[in-house]
Structure 1
Amino acid sequence: MKALLILGAVTGACFILLLDTSIISTAIPRITNQFHSLPDIGWYGSAYLLANCALQPMTGKIYSKFSAKWVFMLFLGIFELGSLLCGVATSSKMLIVGRAVAGMGGSGITNGALTIIALCAPMEKRPVYIGIMMGISQLGIMIGPLIGGAVTQYATWRWCFYINLPAGAIVAGFLFFIHIPRPKHQVPITLGIRNLFDGLDFIGFLLFAPAAIMFLLALEWGGNAYRWNSATVIGLFCGAAGAFAIFLSWEYRIGDTAMIPFSMMKKKITFSSCITMFFLAANLITTSYYMAIYFQAVRGVSPLLAGVYILPSILSQMFVAITAGILVGRLGYYLPWVIGGTALTAIGSGLMSTFTPTSSTGIWIGFQIISGFGRGSGLQMPVLAMQNSVKPAEVPVAMSLIIFFQNIGASLFLSFAQTTFSSGLVHALPIFAPDVNVQAVINAGASGFRNVVTQALLPGVLHAYSQAISHVFYLTTGAVLVAFIACWGMGWKSIKKPKVMQPEA
């Protein structure tokens, strides 16, 4: 019963975290109308992402030094504070600050949940628990637009943020009364506070944060606010590379006390798991984002209905994630599941690139299910491989590392996908709709172009949109094929402990 309460609490926290990342998309038009802040749209997502990724690797060191329970509740509290600031925001700038605070809090929630599961469950049971956690929490990505659309339409956009408050309070309430074991290597909390700076690698953090921020800003601004070959974007990439090189030098110098220990990254299992998670996350988030655009732009449905149409993917993914967790716990081996999962995801993503404006319901449901089965089978396996290959004291750092690769992979490929989609659309419009005003269609956006083209030109524009989205699915197929290659290095290892032979009498 205690294990189920802990699992329910950490799953709930991860659910509202992922819900928060997608629910804001439907609220942005109302927010920009109220604050007259159209130029700030990019910052509503970027502020969260910058704060989240900059702090992510440090959270592993914090979890390894202090009680996982109280650190988790601290990060959850910061996330809730950010949500409250967003909900009561009186200006666009206040909303951006709230998003940054929420990003800081969110940086320690997913890896904290995985760390708590590792502390409370033996290795044999973790596949089931992690499968349930990842499967259910990822529902938040899909139902975010549904909930956001409903509360924005019938109440106020502020409830997109207020909704996190009671949910977070329930999670914190459960955790407050539950004992979560502390690893033997952790010192009492009073001694930990007294020696706060020992072993946290603050210098590494101060070197890493600007590198991450410059890199993510370059991705955010490139092709949007500035051209990719502009001095600003190139300067940000160069600055990020320089800062990251200095960061790596420092990490190498201080050895095992580093924020990202080289001894851990040099392990083949660690490296392969991180790369596999990087490209699987890239496939998941990019596919989810552009499936919604396909249904809204090409099929002409509402954001609410688009969220419903994506459910075959996420429900199949959730079902297989839980099933695979149960079977890995019984059989012991995770490698066949990630190999099969990445292969199946590649097949599903490739098939999804064949979507057209007239694809039948059976096709778009069936291809989503294939892709969902693959991701459900593979996504949790890099986490299990990492936990199985490191010492218990290293689990928090390992989890922060793999979640960082997950977030960076998603961010990087969303940027690549945006460039691929935009260039594909600009190329396809003159071919399929030669008489259309290309700039007018692009400026109108995915949900507004129908208002600026005639009925005679609309079929051609829909074909152009469909082809541009197909190019994005080529990209996601390529990403998961790299994951398929990388995952072979995760090792043919069993998570089961070898049985000890009893001496004969």
Structure 2
Amino acid sequence: MREKGAEEKGAEEKGAEEKGAEEKDAEQNVPSDGEEQQGPHDLVYDKADKEPELHWRTFIAIAAMFLLNLTQVFALQGPPVVLSAMGKDLSGESIQTWVPNALSLVQAILCPVIANASDVFQARKAILVGTCLLSFIGAAIAPNATHIGSVVAAQVLIGFGFASVPLAYCVPSEILPRRWRPFVQSGVNLAGALGACAAPLIIGSLTERNPHTGWRFFYWIQMALWGATAVGILAGYQPPRRHNGLDHVNFWQKLRHLDLPGFLLLTSGLTLFLVSLNLGGDAYAWSSARVLTTLLIGLAVLVTFGVYEIKGTSTGILHHELFRGGQQRGRTFGLCVLLIFIEGVLLFSFIVYYPALTTALFEQNFFLLAARIQHFWLACGFATLPYG
């Protein structure tokens, strides 16, 4: 009896120890207030604690990321400087503002979708190469344009490459040791500043020499840059092995995890809103039914997008996890988004309207016009080095 009692007591103590160990493990697996729960979209890298090794492909990939950022800003900054010449050459002064706006609109809409799809489908390399090739095609279409609508369509295709800008910052952090990442991120920004300096000067000089063919040569140069970027990414970028919670589902099931309703609402709302802003005051009066109807419908769709992102989904374009965590996380992130939004409004206003304003009031020479904005981008380039 004593032996049986001792055995039962030992079994109870062993069971209590196992239960305590399980509870301890469970507590460790439950994230604290400052930690995020891992979702099915979150990537987990194999051998995450092991530093990436440097080899020749790494340097090619980093050079390709530098060239990608340079080319993206090169495509954005060039056309606004000679927008008046492009509109006059193609008899499209009334819609010439759509040349830079088309690229920016595609970038604003596709950025979150591309970033999300690259994780869900684990297709970062394919997306980078594919978007660069679409931009390559767009840059090849623009020089042969006989109507400004063709240039706008070309800019839409170029916008696909510009929309991959978030991935240009992800790749260096994947393939480099930690100590080199801040330095290389600064280099990526510096490459963008170089593109912002070079594009206005190149297109301004070419267009001043020949208003009909100058800006067309600029697109041929841009085409070569997109092609070189695609080749560099294809040859050098080798994504590290990783997995997520969607590895074992098929394509259509993965597609359902993309925020397609939010994407459609954002696309239609932004398009209608921007169309109304471009129609008003130029093609039609602000009080006309066409402008007001388009404007109000666009605003209504954007409000619907906001309501859907708040009430209809928690993992969409406006992922709820980003705004949780109290003052130290959620509020800080929301404030940063607001500040970046204000910065974007100011930046794109400067990019699009400052050249037009300067042309109308101060300077008719396109090269000198480009020179007037160089100090801004030079300051950006030098400032990014200590920030990195």
TM-score, normalised via structure 1 length: 0.57
Q: Which residues of 2 match residues 232-251 of structure 1 at below 5 A?
A: 232-251=290-309
Q: Which residue of 1 aligns with 2:198?
A: 143
Q: Which residues of 2 match residues 301-380 of structure 1 at below 5 A?
A: 302-325=365-388
Q: Which residue of 1 aligns with 2:244?
A: 185
- In the alignment, which of 70, 79, 91 is matched to residue 126 of structure 2? 70
Q: Distance in 1 between matches of 2:142 and 2:302?
A: 32
Q: Distance in 1 between matches of 2:306 and 2:85?
A: 43
Q: Is residue 68–residue 115 contact of structure 1 (8 Å, CA) maintained in 2? A: no
Q: Which residues of 2 match residues 209-228 of structure 1 at below 5 A?
A: 209-228=267-286
Q: Distance in 2 between matches of 1:38 and 1:185?
A: 50
Q: Distance in 1 between matches of 2:368 and 2:265?
A: 45
Q: Is residue 193–residue 378 contact of structure 2 (8 Å, CA) maintained in 1? A: no
Structure 2 letter corresponding to 1:12: L
Q: Distance in 1 between matches of 2:141 and 2:259?
A: 30
Pairwise CA distance, 1:287: 4.2
Name the CA shift for 1:223/1:301 in 2 (closer, same or farther; >3 Å): closer
Q: Is residue 118–residue 124 contact of structure 2 (8 Å, CA) maintained in 1? A: yes
Pairwise CA distance, 1:320: 1.6
Q: Which residue of 1 aligns with 2:263?
A: 205
- In the alignment, which of 103, 115, 129 is matched to residue 48 of structure 1? 103
Structure 2 letter corresponding to 1:323: P
Structure 2 letter corresponding to 1:251: E
Q: Distance in 2 between matches of 1:279 and 1:214?
A: 21
> Which structure is richer in relative contact order (CA contacts within 8 A, separation 6 or more)?
2
**Residues 206-265 of structure 1 deviation map (CA, whole Å, 9 limit, x = unaligned):** 222111112222333344334445444433332223212322333334544323212324
Name the CA shift for 1:192/1:160 in 2 (closer, same or farther; >3 Å): farther
- In the alignment, which of 139, 153, 158 is matched to residue 102 of structure 1? 158
- In the alignment, which of 264, 279, 282 is matched to residue 322 of structure 2? 264
Pairwise CA distance, 1:199: 0.5
Q: Distance in 1 between matches of 2:286 and 2:337?
A: 28
Q: Distance in 2 between matches of 1:6 and 1:288?
A: 29
Q: Distance in 1 between matches of 2:292 and 2:60?
A: 49
Larger radius of gyration: 2
Pairwise CA distance, 1:288: 5.3
Name the CA shift for 1:26/1:284 in 2 (closer, same or farther; >3 Å): closer
Pairwise CA distance, 1:102: 1.9
Q: Is residue 27–residue 160 contact of structure 1 (8 Å, CA) maintained in 2? A: no
Structure 2 letter corresponding to 1:99: Q
Q: Distance in 2 between matches of 1:30 and 1:292?
A: 12
Q: Distance in 1 between matches of 2:300 and 2:252?
A: 34
- In the alignment, which of 113, 116, 125 is matched to residue 58 of structure 1? 113
Q: Distance in 2 between matches of 1:246 and 1:299?
A: 43
Q: Which runs of 4+ in 1 moved over 6 A?
A: none
Q: Distance in 2 between matches of 1:206 and 1:304?
A: 40
Q: Distance in 1 between matches of 2:145 and 2:245?
A: 39
Establish whether residue 172 from structure 1 lines up as the match of residue 222 from structure 2: no
Structure 2 letter corresponding to 1:185: N
Q: Is residue 64–residue 186 contact of structure 1 (8 Å, CA) maintained in 2? A: no
Pairwise CA distance, 1:171: 1.4
Q: Is residue 47–residue 96 contact of structure 1 (8 Å, CA) maintained in 2? A: yes
Q: Distance in 2 between matches of 1:167 and 1:123?
A: 29
**5+ residue gaps, structure 1:** 326-505
TM-score, normalised via structure 2 length: 0.72
**Residues 439-483 of structure 1 deviation map (CA, whole Å, 9 limit, x = unaligned):** xxxxxxxxxxxxxxxxxxxxxxxxxxxxxxxxxxxxxxxxxxxxx
Percent identity among equivalent residues? Answer: 18
Q: Is residue 102–residue 156 contact of structure 2 (8 Å, CA) maintained in 1? A: yes
Name the CA shift for 1:288/1:237 in 2 (closer, same or farther; >3 Å): closer
Q: Distance in 2 between matches of 1:293 and 1:213?
A: 23
Q: Which residue of 2 aligns with 1:80?
A: 136
Name the CA shift for 1:57/1:221 in 2 (closer, same or farther; >3 Å): farther
CA RMSD, aligned part only? 3.0
Please say which of residues 198-207 and 281-290 is displaced more in the overlay. Answer: 281-290
Name the CA shift for 1:54/1:270 in 2 (closer, same or farther; >3 Å): same
Q: Which residue of 2 aligns with 1:337?
A: none
Name the CA shift for 1:193/1:118 in 2 (closer, same or farther; >3 Å): farther
Q: Which residue of 1 aligns with 2:187?
A: 132
Q: Distance in 2 between matches of 1:123 and 1:237?
A: 48
Aligned length: 323
Q: Is residue 53–residue 212 contact of structure 1 (8 Å, CA) maintained in 2? A: no
Structure 1 letter corresponding to 2:382: F
Q: Distance in 1 between matches of 2:344 and 2:180?
A: 24
Structure 1 letter corresponding to 2:147: S
Q: Is residue 138–residue 154 contact of structure 2 (8 Å, CA) maintained in 1? A: yes
Q: Which residues of 2 match residues 110-129 of structure 1 at below 5 A?
A: 110-121=165-176, 125-129=180-184
**5+ residue gaps, structure 2:** 1-53, 325-329
